[in-house]
Amino acid sequence: MFSVEKVSIFYDVRQDRLNLLFFDHNEQMLLGFMTRHLLKGLLAALPEWLARNIKQAQGHVSQNEVEQRGISLFNYQAAQQNISAVHGDIEMDKVMIPFMIETINLAKSDIDEAELSDISLSFIDDAKSHQIVLALSLAQFHKLTGEMLAKVDNWGLKNPWGGGFVGVAANMVH
């Protein structure tokens, strides 16, 4: 298992893939890539998963769907403004063989019971030879999702919290 301290995200235009460069506390790196299909599936499942798991953990089981959507939208927008991200070119000083991320598991993290909104993401390849674990607060999770969507804005994916699509499909047929 590879525990992540930080992640860099970049888009590979030639292969049309989202790349995630994972760093551990020793600055060791692993490079995984994600397809449009996997990210689209993740985005479709996120709002319901967050509403069910985070709401239950915080004891707010009585919120209706509209209230929960409003809270999620607020959390997403606040994270985009309040958590900083470093933008720039990524330089890798060694050749890395990337692996395809086949599965992303979401779980409430058991790191600290006082932090009820901790989320654990596991990125796993098909052969299960790579399992990368990233623990995030709810705000960090929203920021990561926003940064991923920004990198692939030409994919025309629906932002589950923004209410619209990210990017514009130039050749959309009606």
- Per-residue pLDDT tens digits for 56-98: 545 555 556 666 667 677 777 777 777 767 777 777 777 788 8
Mean pLDDT to the nearest integer, 31-51: 88
Residues 6+ apart with CB under 8 A from 72: 47, 50, 51, 161
Of the pLDDT bands very low, low, confident and very high (cuts 50, 70, 90), residue 32 is very high
Give this prediction's pTM.
0.76
Sorted by sequence, the CB contacts under 8 Å of residue 144 that are 6+ apart come out as 7, 9, 136
